[in-house]
Amino acid sequence: MEFMSKIIIYTTPICAYCKMAKEYFKSKGFEYEEYNVAIDIPKQKEMINKTGQFGVPVIEIDGKIVIGFDKAKINEYLGIN
């Protein structure tokens, strides 16, 4: 059994980059937890506390933060290319 990274993605329903990030994870076979910060206020506060960011997507991979859909950084943190 291969170790799977723990991926959390903070999103909103109208965010195009959120959708792209989720599709990217699916295409690579990675599972993720998704939090809709438009309606989940505790998770919105958590995201802002962790990052100081109000914009989405905010992606957390094994405790490391990626702001936006930064494919190079996502790949680096996931150990893929």
Q: How many CB atoms lie within 10 A of CB 75?
A: 13
d(C-alpha 31, C-alpha 7), whole Å:
7
- What does the domain layout of the chain look like in residue ranges? 38-81
Contact 55, 67 (CB under 8 A): yes
Q: What is the DSSP letter of 32?
A: -
pLDDT of residue 4: 77
pLDDT per residue, tens digit, the chain (81 aa), is: 456 789 999 999 999 999 999 999 999 999 999 999 999 999 999 999 999 989 999 999 999 999 999 999 999 999 997
Q: Which residues contact 57 (CB under 8 A, 6 or more apart)?
A: 9, 10, 11, 15, 17, 18, 21, 68, 69
pTM for the model: 0.92
